[in-house]
Homo-oligomer: A and B are copies of this chain.
Amino acid sequence: MLFFENDYSEGAHEQVLQHLVNTTREKLLAYGADRYSEAAREKIRLACQAPNAEIFFLAGGTQSNQVVIDALLAPQDGAIAAKTGHIALHEAGAIEATGHKVLELPQENGKLQAEVVRTYLQDFYNDTSHEHMVAPGLVYISHPTEYGTLYTESELAALRKVCDDYELKLYLDGARLGYALACPESDITLPILAKYCDAFYIGGTKVGALCGEAVVFPQNAPKHFNTQVKRHGAMLAKSRVVGVQFDALFTDDLYYKLGRYAIQKARQLRAALQERNYRFFIDSPSNQIFVIMDNERLKELSKHVQYSFWEKYDEKHTVIRFATSWATEQEDLDSLIALL
């Protein structure tokens, strides 16, 4: 069986694992104060050109979203997100569990457009009863989006401008950030994220780590953030498990290399699909490819390949997703292409 269902079906990259192995008997400080976490932070600050950034290592993506959004918002405020955003749909109400409403806005190719947000905010504050409504306190976006699409710097700048105009925070979910950074279609880099966002996280789980995300506050973290992390059950005693992994990921550009590798594989697959005249559901330049498949053909393919069902397209067609990752084997890719 060929596996193209998602980008979190393998463990960690060998260099990451090796670093865990090498350091395992070292006696290190707990709760994120160990020297590998410190080293990883310093490397990330450098990569972000954000010398004052405060960086925290958490175990997973939903957790990072929950803890950061709760820390950035006033208790009565809500988080704006695309209707298709991960926090809106696929986190089992983790944001609402902390008392905040997710304010869902329409998206375009999975992206939240600055003008859509601005119009929403204008309407909100023009509504004389807005004191009885949930005030937006933050804009949540992800890069790449749920549809594998990418923001450009100018789109990000426009979102920042709206946030500034209405005193909102801007937070970016980078679960697959490594794959976005490797795409020439987007001019967004880590320093650009650090320039525009109040917070973002660099995803490890889907980009070479066993687990873990690096939450970055480019300017400064919310007050008592560690206590808030702990309060949400998200503080790892052996926080080193994530710190050591990020230390490896940000050594010798490994994080970028893994990203580029996955994108290269995705390009090969996309080219093969195009050659064979498959229709794409959406033009997604990163490591997720959404294809409209004939149901008969799909039935056949299912015998050999695991993919993600996305949605029914029409009576005769289905949208499916192929994902490549840092761990996609060329051999498997060749086999998949041969089957198409």
Contacts and interface: CB of A to CB of B under 8 A. Distances in A.
Given A10-B25, A227-B76, A233 B96 contact: no
Given A26-B11, A30-B9, A236 B59 contact: yes
Contact of A132 (B92, B131, B205): B92
A14 interface: yes
Contact of A134 (B23, B93, B128, B234): B93
Contacts of A102: 101
A63 B24 CA distance: 23
Interface of A: 3, 6, 8-12, 14, 17, 20-21, 23-31, 59-67, 70, 74-76, 78, 89-94, 96-102, 104, 128-129, 131-135, 205-206, 210-211, 223-224, 226-228, 230-238, 240-241, 244, 309, 327
Contact of A12 (B24, B59, B133, B224): B24
B17 A24 contact: yes
A29 B11 contact: no
A316 B74 CA distance: 39
A128 to B, nearest CB: 7
Contacts of A90: 129, 132-133
A27 B3 contact: yes
Contacts of A14: 24
B132 A91 contact: yes
A227 B99 contact: no
Given A24-B17, A224-B76, A241-B210, A233 B230 contact: no
A10 B25 CA distance: 5
B9 A23 contact: no
23 contacts: A12-B24, A17-B20, A17-B21, A31-B132, A62-B235, A65-B233, A66-B233, A67-B233, A75-B231, A76-B227, A78-B93, A90-B132, A92-B132, A92-B235, A94-B231, A97-B98, A97-B232, A132-B227, A205-B237, A211-B211, A211-B236, A232-B232, A232-B233
Contacts of A100: 93, 96
A74 B11 contact: no
Identical copies in the complex: 4
A312 B128 CA distance: 13
Given A90-B129, A92-B134, 6 more contacts: A12-B20, A17-B20, A63-B234, A64-B233, A65-B233, A92-B235
B30 A10 contact: no
Given A60-B236, A75-B75, A309-B128, A327 B25 contact: yes
Given A9-B30, A25-B11, A76-B224, A132 B235 contact: yes
A101 B227 CA distance: 14
A132 B32 CA distance: 13
A34 to B, nearest CB: 9
A219 to B, nearest CB: 19
